[in-house]
Structure 1
Amino acid sequence: METFPEKGRSWQHGASRAHRRPARPERGGAVAATIKDVAASAGVGIATVSRVFSGTGAVSAATRERVLAAARDLHYRPSAVGRSLKTRRTGGLGLAVPDATDPFCADLIGGVLDCARTLGQHVLLDATLGDPAREAEIADRFAEQRVDGVIAVPSGTGDPWEGFPRAGVPLVFAGRVPSCRTWTGRAPAVLADDAAGIRSAVEYLVGLGHRRVGFLGAPAPGTPPDVREDAFRAALTALGVPVEEDLVARARPTRDSAYAAAAGLLQRRSDLTAVLASGHLPGEAAVLVARELDLRVPADLSIAMVDDVAWAELCDPPLTAVSRPARDLGYRACELAARGGVRRGPSGPVLLPTELVVRGSCGPAPSRRARH
Structure 2
Amino acid sequence: MSRAATIKDVARRAGVGVATVSRVLSGSGPVSEATRERVLRAARELEYRPSALGRGLKTRRTGSVGLVVGEITDPFCAELAAGVLACARTLGEHVLLEASHGDPGREAEIVDRLVEQRVDGVIATPAAEGDWWRSALRAGIAVVFVDRAPKELPQIPAVLADDAAGVRATVEYLAGLGHRRIGFLGTGDPAAPAEAGGVRETTFRTALAELGLQVEADLVVRARPGRDSALAAAAALLQRRPDMTAVLAAGHLLGEAVVLVARELDLRVPADLSIAMVDDVSWAELCDPPLTALARPARDMGYRACEVLRRDPARRERARPVVLPTELVIRGSCGPPSRTPAVRSARTR
TM-score range, shorter chain: over 0.9
Which residue of 2 is the match for residue 326 of structure 1? 298
Tell me the alpha carbon deviations over residues 167-191 of structure 1, each in whole angstroms, 9 at most, x when there is no partner.
Answer: 332211012223xxx3342111011
Which residue of 2 is the match for residue 166 of structure 1? 138
Query: Which of residues 157, 164, 168 in structure 1 aligns to 2:129?
Result: 157
Query: Which of residues 66, 79, 82 in structure 2 aligns to 1:110?
Result: 82
Which residue of 2 is the match for residue 101 of structure 1? 73
Which residue of 2 is the match for residue 197 of structure 1? 166
Instruction: Say whether 1:127 aligns with 2:99.
Output: yes
Tell me the alpha carbon deviations over residues 14-49 of structure 1, each in whole angstroms, 9 at most, x when there is no partner.
Answer: xxxxxxxxxxxxxxx432211111111111111221
2:282 counterpart letter in structure 1: A
SS, match of residue 129 in structure 1: coil
Deviation at residue 225 of structure 1 after TM alignment: 1.7
Distance 1:97 1:265, change over 3 A: same
Q: Distance in 2 between matches of 1:132 and 1:46?
A: 49
Which residue of 1 is the match for residue 109 of structure 2? 137
Q: Distance in 2 between matches of 1:67 and 1:289?
A: 66
Distance 1:71 1:58, change over 3 A: same
Q: Distance in 2 between matches of 1:225 and 1:341?
A: 33
- How many residue pairs end up in the alignment? 341
SS, match of residue 39 in structure 1: helix
Deviation at residue 159 of structure 1 after TM alignment: 3.3
Q: CA RMSD in A?
A: 1.9
Query: Which of residues 19, 28, 43 in structure 1 aligns to 2:15?
Result: 43
Which residue of 1 is the match for residue 155 of structure 2? 186
Q: Distance in 1 between matches of 2:316 and 2:139?
A: 21
Query: Which of residues 347, 351, 355 in structure 1 aligns to 2:323?
Result: 351
Equivalent residues of 1:130, 1:155 under 8 A apart: yes
SS, match of residue 305 in structure 1: strand
Deviation at residue 158 of structure 1 after TM alignment: 4.5
For residues 304-315 of structure 1, what are the structure 2 equivalents within 5 Å? Answer: 304-315=276-287
Deviation at residue 60 of structure 1 after TM alignment: 2.9
Q: Distance in 1 between matches of 2:8 and 2:170?
A: 62
Equivalent residues of 1:172, 1:341 under 8 A apart: no
The more displaced of 80-89 and 193-202 is 80-89
Q: Distance in 1 between matches of 2:269 and 2:318?
A: 44
Tell me the alpha carbon deviations over residues 129-173 of structure 1, each in whole angstroms, 9 at most, x when there is no partner.
Answer: 111111001100110010111101111225322223333322110
TM-score (norm 1): 0.87
Equivalent residues of 1:173, 1:187 under 8 A apart: yes
- Identify unmatched segments of 5+ residues in structure 1: 1-28
Deviation at residue 342 of structure 1 after TM alignment: 5.8
2:252 counterpart letter in structure 1: H
SS, match of residue 295 in structure 1: coil
Equivalent residues of 2:155, 2:317 under 8 A apart: no
Deviation at residue 369 of structure 1 after TM alignment: 3.9
Which residue of 2 is the match for residue 17 of structure 1? none
Q: Distance in 1 between matches of 2:302 and 2:314?
A: 16
Q: Distance in 1 between matches of 2:237 and 2:191?
A: 19
Query: Which of residues 144, 148, 151 in structure 1 aligns to 2:120?
Result: 148
Query: Which of residues 217, 220, 237 in structure 2 aligns to 1:265?
Result: 237
Tell me the alpha carbon deviations over residues 197-229 of structure 1, each in whole angstroms, 9 at most, x when there is no partner.
Answer: 101100000001111111102322366321111
1:209 counterpart letter in structure 2: G
Which residue of 2 is the match for residue 299 of structure 1? 271
Q: Distance in 2 between matches of 1:80 and 1:225?
A: 46
Equivalent residues of 2:275, 2:334 under 8 A apart: yes
For residues 177-256 of structure 1, what are the structure 2 equivalents within 5 Å? Answer: 177-178=149-150, 182-221=151-190, 224-256=196-228
- Identify unmatched segments of 5+ residues in structure 2: 345-349
SS, match of residue 361 in structure 1: coil
Identity of matched residues, %: 69
SS, match of residue 162 in structure 1: helix
**Larger helix fraction of residues:** 2
2:160 counterpart letter in structure 1: L
Equivalent residues of 2:309, 2:316 under 8 A apart: no
Which residue of 2 is the match for residue 63 of structure 1? 35
Equivalent residues of 1:208, 1:365 under 8 A apart: yes
Equivalent residues of 1:336, 1:343 under 8 A apart: no
Which residue of 1 is the match for residue 347 of structure 2? none
Equivalent residues of 1:271, 1:371 under 8 A apart: no
